[in-house]
Structure 1
Amino acid sequence: MRFYEKLCDELMDKIPEKKLAELPRGYLALGDIMIIHLERSLYKYKTEIGNACLKLLPYMRTVLLEKRIRGRMRRPEIEVIAGEKRTKTIFREHGCEFLIDFSKVMWSGGNKAERQRLVSIAKRGEVIVDMFAGIGYWSIFLAKYCEPKIIYAIDINKDAIELLKTNAQLNNVSDKFEILEGDCRKIVPKMRIKADRIIMGYLDRTERFLKYIKSIVKPGTIIHLHRNVFERESIEERILKVLARNGIEAEIMDARVVKSVAPRVYHKVFDIKVKKC
């Protein structure tokens, strides 16, 4: 029996029957914290729903309701609706440990396959720039499994930077990082390095950040540009035009869907190779 069906059975006599169809079909569980989304019409029953989740998943200690994501730092608006009153936990993925605080930063479980793919194609000894590093969503895995020369990890969110430092320590890879707090648009143009690989793990019109990488690319640099794209939207030509306007000739080697984020909207990643600059 699926989670939704079990939840309906558990709440049959606790919320109006007509509301059962609005219950969540899934959840995100990391460590001992469970995160759910609810329709606003269910907010008045959030305590009952949270307690039912704990009963169905007794190894969870806290249930969080994620209401929305706010601001340019993508800070979650969350509420503890059942269990222990906390938002921090430690969890493991692909052999790496992470400390996360869900009141301050996000984590996408739907990116697992892409993280594995990235690790499989990165090469030993690379200089990597992670322009939106967060708590190490991409770079911790690269540091642990790909033997990079150095990873320059940048983020504007102070809380994410502190968590990234902790996560580098947890995984014994602090020596692989130079962690930089601030706006990548100001930091990257001042860097005196040439990158083998650039990760742009931002989703909102990410191509607007391409103009800041001119000084750190070289022929052969690989750029992984992440972006939310509508179902019939084609942005490959736009990406190449932005690069060309900034003196970078490139080719798109691959474009793949990472996950669905909304009806007819997809998180895609574009693998771009610099040819001339």
Structure 2
Amino acid sequence: MRVRRVEKRHLAAAVGEEWVDPDRRPYVDGETAYVPVREGFFCDAEIPERRPYRGRPFQMVGDTAILHGERPTAEEVAAIVAWRRPACVLHLRTIDGVRRIPEAEVLYGEAHPVRHRENGLTYHLNPVEVMYAAGNLEERAHMGRIVRPGERVADMFAGIGYFTLPMAAAGARVHATEINPVSFGYLQENIRANRLSERVEAVCGDCRRHLTGVYERIVMGHFDAPSFLPDALSHAVPGTVIHLHAVGDATAAIWEALEATDYSATVDTRKVKKYGPHIWHVVHDVELL
């Protein structure tokens, strides 16, 4: 493969150059990036073509590789290190409780705070301290697409800003609550890093105690969300849209909560990702009538 050597710190600027081959990925080794060159342009080196990675699936959050499911073997970890050269490899066993604290094992390198870029936004976090569901990428982008500028939104389980940031970046006024003080610290940092302080009011504590007034949209991005639905409904009006996340079908719980109010609703269900055998992480979009 024909390449040009570029300092790693200049890689982001280089990839937009005319000579870059957009169909091939740069290769980074230490502080040097080897950027593929299109035919007809100068190159200063040739390196062997990299064979496609066929090993254990993993997700990159910043410079950290994260694996789920069964504990990976030493050979699987070595393959990931050789292929992607992460600074750290983590095995994420589970996410615990309302505060969504990861139970993770470091398999390579050292756990550390990372800077993760996604859909034009910056997320700061330490993957052993707080949850980051890389598989929810499209759902986060979706929320940024559907909000309207100036819309008042409640993000009841804001975490580090998974949905708060894309919605605020799209022009919504977001009231973000998070009960985990560590996640809340990263939420504040991420609001500042993305220059969204004027559009986000962030509060640390139980969302049920901090909701105020009424909202045009309410995001309930936690699998315990069905039990919080009566609290959300008390801050809604006809036309409010509630995005309720659940493991499996929670429509029965939604209709039960609605029966205690004067609302009717339309309920649409979207699949986000597979959660387990025959089990899906879904979002119920509930529009109150």
Q: TM-score normalized by structure 1?
A: 0.80
| Aligned 8 A contact 1:211 1:242 in 2 | yes
Deviation at 1:68, TM superposition (A): 2.3
| Aligned 8 A contact 2:176 2:201 in 1 | yes
Deviation at 1:87, TM superposition (A): 2.8
Equivalent AA in structure 2 for residue 175 of structure 1:
E
Question: Separation in 2 of the partners of 1:263 and 1:223?
Answer: 27
Deviation at 1:248, TM superposition (A): 4.2
Question: Separation in 2 of the partners of 1:87 and 1:71?
Answer: 22
Residue 53 in structure 1 maps to residue 53 in structure 2:
no
User: 1:212-245: per-residue Cα shift (whole Å, max 9, x none)?
Assistant: 124321111110011010xxxx532431221221
Q: Cα–Cα, structure 1 residues 152 and 95, in superposed 2: closer, same or farther, change >3 Å?
A: same
Corresponding position of 1:200: 220
Corresponding position of 1:261: 275
Deviation at 1:125, TM superposition (A): 0.9
Corresponding position of 1:224: 243
Residue 215 in structure 1 maps to residue 234 in structure 2:
yes
User: 1:112-158: per-residue Cα shift (whole Å, max 9, x none)?
Assistant: 222222222211111100000000100101111x212x211011100
Question: Separation in 1 of the partners of 2:57 and 2:76?
Answer: 13
User: 1:181-219: per-residue Cα shift (whole Å, max 9, x none)?
Assistant: 11112323xx2x210100000113x22111112432111
**Equivalent residue for 2:264, pick from 244, 250, 255:** 250
Residue 94 in structure 1 maps to residue 108 in structure 2:
no
In terms of fraction of residues, the more helix-rich structure is 1
Q: Cα–Cα, structure 1 residues 241 and 221, in superposed 2: closer, same or farther, change >3 Å?
A: same
Q: CA RMSD in A?
A: 1.8
Deviation at 1:104, TM superposition (A): 1.5
Question: Separation in 1 of the partners of 2:287 and 2:265?
Answer: 5
Equivalent AA in structure 2 for residue 199 of structure 1:
V
Corresponding position of 1:174: 197
Equivalent AA in structure 2 for residue 32 of structure 1:
D
Question: Separation in 2 of the partners of 1:87 and 1:265?
Answer: 32
| Aligned 8 A contact 1:240 1:249 in 2 | no
Question: Separation in 2 of the partners of 1:127 and 1:257?
Answer: 25
Question: Separation in 2 of the partners of 1:38 and 1:270?
Answer: 26
Task: Give the SS at the match of 1:136.
Answer: coil
**Equivalent residue for 1:37, pick from 60, 68, 77:** 68
Q: Cα–Cα, structure 1 residues 38 and 270, in superposed 2: closer, same or farther, change >3 Å?
A: closer
Corresponding position of 2:103: 77
Question: Separation in 2 of the partners of 1:214 and 1:173?
Answer: 27
Deviation at 1:74, TM superposition (A): 1.6
Larger radius of gyration: 2
Equivalent AA in structure 2 for residue 97 of structure 1:
T
**Equivalent residue for 1:154, pick from 152, 169, 177:** 177
Q: Which moved more, 1:109-118 or 1:90-99?
A: 109-118
Residue 131 in structure 1 maps to residue 156 in structure 2:
yes
Question: Separation in 2 of the partners of 1:118 and 1:250?
Answer: 23
Task: Give the SS at the match of 2:111.
Answer: coil
Structure with the bigger RCO (C-alpha within 8 Å, sep 6+) is: 1
Equivalent AA in structure 1 for residue 192 of structure 2:
Q
Question: Separation in 2 of the partners of 1:111 and 1:141?
Answer: 13
**Equivalent residue for 1:184, pick from 207, 221, 226:** 207
Equivalent AA in structure 2 for residue 91 of structure 1:
H
What is the aligned-residue identity percentage? Answer: 32
Corresponding position of 1:119: 144
| Aligned 8 A contact 1:74 1:105 in 2 | yes
